[in-house]
Amino acid sequence: MTELNILLIALLFAVGLWGTLARKNIIKKVIALSVLNSSIVALFIVCASVSGEKAPIIDNSSGGVFVDPIPQALMLTAIVVGFSLTAVALVFVWRLFKAYGTLNIDHIELRTKDDNNA
């Protein structure tokens, strides 16, 4: 099952990378970056998961082997950072649309070259 999970995560990573590199629309690039971030988080979760171990909650009756909580905490941090990055990127996209009236990168580059030549 782990191999199937890693294969699906690799496919998700490839879709996110392709969307980031091949698309001209900035909104689609931001969504692709979010998919890319989600695939990386999923990869870390799958690689750090261990079946048969207990959650790291220690009480009087606890004993045995516990799951390492560090990867889980790091992935929660990565999720928050990814969400913040997406939110800030969408604000910049909104500002670009207000300034140039388009979200196509080629049109924005042409307009900035025209502004620099004038």
CB 45 within 8 A of CB 71: yes
pTM over cut 0.85: no
- Of 64, 46, 67, 45, nearest to 55 by C-alpha is 67
Q: What is the pLDDT of residues 72-118, one digit of tens each?
A: 889 999 999 999 999 999 999 999 999 999 999 999 999 888 777 76
- Cβ neighbors of 76 (< 8 A, separation 6 or more) are none
Domain boundaries in the chain? 2-50+68-117
Q: What is the pLDDT of residue 1?
A: 64
Percent of the chain with pLDDT over 90: 62
Could you list the beta-strand ranges (E) of 1-118: none
Q: Please tell me the class of the 2-50+68-117 domain.
A: mainly alpha
